């Protein structure tokens, strides 16, 4: 069965800390996405990619970097974490139809 996995599932860090969120998909999809979800804002697109080595800027990219190392793997990097980045982060993949989500990572920045 096609799947999107994320790690870690929960993460607590301090202000100024360095965090990497990992995502792997086995859907053979070209597109991968990183979203954050906060109450009152819905899902907001941070970065996305349509293949290994490609990166597209989303709607809320400030404070985030991303890298797509292979078709399967997409990473989100927070190099100087801030409390405003406390959120639920979803990775997702898609082909030409719907978007399939990972289980999410809950990040808390103290």
Task: In whole angstroms, give the CA distance from residue 9 to residue 96.
Answer: 28
Q: Candidates 5, 56, 71, 86: give the one binding another protein (CB under 8 A).
A: 56
* Residues 79-108 as x/- pattern, contact with another protein by CB under 8 A: -----------x---x-xxxxxxxxx----
**Per CB under 8 A, 5 contacts another protein:** no
Longest dimension (CA), the chain: 39
CB-based burial, 78-94: b 16+ in 10 Å, e otherwise: beebeeebbbebbbbbb
> What are the residues binding another protein (CB under 8 A)?
31, 33, 35, 40-43, 45, 48, 50, 56, 58-59, 90, 94, 96-104
């Amino acid at each position: 069965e096609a799947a999107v996995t994320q790690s870690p599932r929960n993460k607590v860090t301090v202000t100024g800390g360095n965090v990497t969120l990992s995502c792997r998909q086995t859907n053979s999809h070209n597109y991968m996405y990183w979203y954050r979800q906060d109450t009152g804002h819905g899902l907001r697109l941070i970065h996305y990619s349509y293949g290994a080595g490609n990166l597209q800027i989303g709607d809320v990219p400030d404070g985030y970097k991303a890298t797509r190392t292979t078709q399967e793997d997409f990473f989100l990097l927070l190099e100087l974490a801030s409390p405003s980045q406390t959120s639920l982060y979803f990775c997702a993949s898609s082909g030409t139809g719907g978007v399939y989500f990972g289980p999410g990572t809950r990040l808390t920045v103290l």
